[in-house]
Amino acid sequence: MRDIVILGSTGSIGVQALEVIAANPTKFRVVGLSAGANNLERLTEQVKKFAVPIVGTTGEGSSLRQALPGVEVIDGPDSSRQIAALSCDVVLNGITGSIGLGPTLAALEVGNTVALANKETLVAGGDLVMAHGRDRIIPVDSEHSALFQAMFAGKGNDVEKLILTASGGPFRTREDLSTVSLADALNHPTWSMGPVVTINSATLVNKGLEIIEAHYLFGIPYSKIEAVIHPQSVVHSMVEFKDGSTVAQASPPNMKGPIAYAIAYPDRVPHATNPIDWKSSHTWTFEPIDTERFPAVELAKRCGALGGAVAAMYNAANEVAVSAFMKEQIQFTAIVDIIEQTVTRLGGQAISVVRDLDDVSAIENDARRVAHEALGKK
C-alpha cells in the first residue's frame, strides 16, 4: 500500500490521479489533499470519497470544516506546503503555475518523493530543486515520463540528445495566428488538459517550458535538447544515444499512464491506460517546428541557457500574457511578444544565482511588472 498526497487535487492532473487510485484501491491510499479556493465542493467530495484524514485549501477553510467533521483542515496560502510535508510515500504535485515551487521544495526538504506534474517548479526554481538531487523527483509530464523511461536503455553519458515531441497544438497548419480566438486556442486536438496548459500548447510555450524542465530533470545541456512536431501524440518523446540508436516511449495520449507510472514507480500499474491497438493501421508523422510562426521554443532555449533567473522570467511573463489573452485583452501572437520584450528588458540584469524562494519571487515580480507595462502598449 502506497500513501499518496495530492496537491492541486481538483485540477485536471489531480482528478485523473484520483481516478487511477480509485481503480487500484489495494495499491494506493490518499493521506492528504490540497487545492485552491475555487472548487471547494469538488474537494469536499474527494475527501469524503477517499476518506482523507487531512485536507488543505489556499482559501478560507470554514466551509470545509463544517462539511467535513473529524477531518483536519489546514487553510491559507501556506497550506499546500504543509500538506506537501506530510509523511507519505509520494507527493503528487499537480498545481499549475510557479506557485507550485514552494510545495515541491517543502516536500523534498522533509525527504518525500515528488511525482512532479508542475513543470513551473523546475522552470522557476530548477537550481533550488536540483540542490536536493535527482533521485526523489519522478516526472509526470508525458514527455518527461517518456524520457525517464527511455533513459533506462543506456547510461547517462551515452545520451546524445533528448527529443521532445509536440502535438503542434490546434494551429499547426494555420498560417495567420493573429486572428486566433480564445475558443480556438482552448480547443486542443489530442490532449485534454487545464486551460493554461492548453493555451501554452497552442503557443508552444508549453514545449519551451518542457525543454527547460528536461534540462533540469536529466542534467542535459540545452544544445542537446530538441523538439519535433508529432501530431498524433502517441510517441511521447525519445532519447538518442551516442551509437545512433533512438529509444522512444509510445502509448495513446492519456495522462493516466504517466500519472500511474510516477506514483507507482518503480512498479507499473496493470491497465493504467489502453495500449496501442495494433489491429488497426496507424501513421505516425514527425516534422520540424516552424520557428517563425512558433518562436516560443527557441526563445525558451535561449532563456534557459542564459541561466536560472531568466527561465523564471520567461514563465512569469507568460503567466501575465496568458491571463490577459484569457480575458481577451490581447491577440494570441502578443503572448510570445510580451515574453520576448520582458526577457529582453530584464535578461541582461538577471541575477545569476538563485539562492532561495525570495530570489524567485523578486525575479517574478520584476518580470510581471515589465510584462504588464508591455501589455499596456498592446
- Residues near Mg ion (CB under 5 A) are 141-143
Euclidean distance between CA atoms 55 and 339, whole angstroms? 36
By C-beta, is 50 or 148 nearer to Mg ion? 148
Q: Give me the residues paired with residue 138 across strands.
A: 115
At closest approach, how far in Å is the CB of 233 from Mg ion? 9
- Packing angle of the helix pair 205-218, 334-346 (nearest 10 deg): 50
Euclidean distance between CA atoms 107 and 84, whole angstroms? 5
Q: What are the grid coordinates assigned to 229, written together?
A: 512536431
At closest approach, how far in Å is the CB of 146 from Mg ion? 9
Q: Would you call 78 helix, strand, or coil by DSSP?
A: coil
Euclidean distance between CA atoms 173 and 164, whole angstroms? 19
By C-beta, is 4 or 205 nearer to Mg ion? 205
Pairing of strands 137-139, 113-116: parallel
At closest approach, how far in Å is the CB of 284 from Mg ion? 17
At closest approach, how far in Å is the CB of 200 from Mg ion? 9
By C-beta, is 46 or 203 nearer to Mg ion? 203
By C-beta, is 145 or 342 nearer to Mg ion? 145
Q: What are the grid coordinates assigned to 81, written together?
A: 506546503
By C-beta, is 32 or 170 nearer to Mg ion? 170
Euclidean distance between CA atoms 248 and 165, whole angstroms? 10
Tell me the C-alpha to C-alpha distance, in Å, between residue 57 and each of 22, 64, 128, 145: 22, 9, 25, 28
Euclidean distance between CA atoms 10 and 52, whole angstroms? 14
Euclidean distance between CA atoms 20 and 9, whole angstroms? 13
Q: Give me the residues paired with residue 328 across strands.
A: none
Euclidean distance between CA atoms 131 and 353, whole angstroms? 12
At closest approach, how far in Å is the CB of 258 from Mg ion? 9
At closest approach, how far in Å is the CB of 300 from Mg ion? 13
By C-beta, is 53 or 253 nearer to Mg ion? 253
At closest approach, how far in Å is the CB of 342 from Mg ion? 23
At closest approach, how far in Å is the CB of 163 from Mg ion? 14
H or E element in which residue 4 lies? strand 2-7
Tell me the C-alpha to C-alpha distance, in Å, between residue 328 and each of 1, 277, 372: 47, 41, 15
H or E element in which residue 218 lies? helix 205-218
By C-beta, is 112 or 165 nearer to Mg ion? 165
By C-beta, is 143 or 340 nearer to Mg ion? 143
By C-beta, is 81 or 119 nearer to Mg ion? 119
At closest approach, how far in Å is the CB of 210 from Mg ion? 6
Nearest position to Mg ion, beta carbon: 141
SS3 content of the chain, % helix, strand, coil (to 5): 50, 15, 35
By C-beta, is 30 or 263 nearer to Mg ion? 263
At closest approach, how far in Å is the CB of 190 from Mg ion? 11
What angle (nearest 5°) sits at the alpha carbon of residue 231, between those of residues 228 and 234?
Answer: 90
Q: What is the DSSP string of 70-116?
A: TSEEEESTTHHHHHHTSS-SEEEE---SGGGHHHHHHHHHTT-EEEE
